[in-house]
Structure 1
């Protein structure tokens, strides 16, 4: 039966354990709730369980114990209301930018109805003029924008992102952070974003979890003004929050 906490959260992860068949669990008794429209981040060192938790929340893996609910419903496999953005854009080389964005709808034979929405997303992400180009003709940042548009084309209520900006230069990364926050806020999307970058987590999130050895070991609420602006990154409150996260991660060594 769902608990009161489940009912209050759009995403409810409760006492989830997953081991990949190993003796030591990869995700160990994690509980985490995300309200509708909230942006949460997971940080931690490589191998701490962040991506596995993301895949569990996507329904790509099934927990050994515990349960996950999305919009009040128990998760038993991928949910069509969830979008996923991978670390690599994973665009299909033989499809144009527009057709890559439309791919999720094409698989449902609904691409004709989605063209207007796809063009709108590409315009919002600043790459509408590239709709007819192919992936090899795009920069890394442009490819990442296409991947975000593809994840949003189905109007998801939940967006899961696995270090999507890790390979980008600093300026492109910051612009994409702003673009993504605007889109998530506009559509009131709940987001769970995995990153190794402490400053990125503080800038984007309402709440950040530090993971280590499969567990959430530290939680930090980010009390900074929204909508975010670049100037926040240079203020004392921002630096103090980054410092808190750094100390929390260092203490887990």
Structure 2
């Protein structure tokens, strides 16, 4: 059984990626979620409605022990399974000006994005190297590429993942494992629902917010065999916003 694991797969971009990979690949979809069981079940039902198989796997990517325990249990139950694709999508934002930022708001955002990348990817990387195949896709952000005021913590976390993407790509390329990052701009999801879309659209040359499905299309390509000569890249998907 060949599998694709999507962290933060219950809603938004994560859900769109689960559905797109179900549509465009033969992977068994592992939908990671932390707390929102109802949303995760919905994603699972939508994947199964496409005639594909999936399962839920609950753990907090920011917590090393929690991640190890959940993934070890899954591997024990599925000794023949191979995770060929990892999409590190789980993230969180706690926006605010740096001068008023609490340590907890700094730490928790870094823990989810940066430590989450480490906890999940590190668990599987030796297995991928042995199997001589893998696709690792990290969902970062325009904030990690150009920095966004009011998001020093989020920008730092995503920029850290970008650096890790470029370094790890060089370490594992010989074994047919690619490591790439996808950097969305403003995408219509729950996370951006509170934003003033009318005002922000003025900054976007494409004159609209992106759709989660558009990000999922890009991830699906990077998760496929077609993208084998692309690695260490940060692909912006932002309608033309640059600093």
Which TM-score band applies after superposition, normalised by the shorter structure?
0.3 to 0.5
TM-score between the two structures when normalised by the length of structure 1: 0.34
Q: Which has the larger radius of gyration?
A: 1
Q: Which has the higher helix share?
A: 2
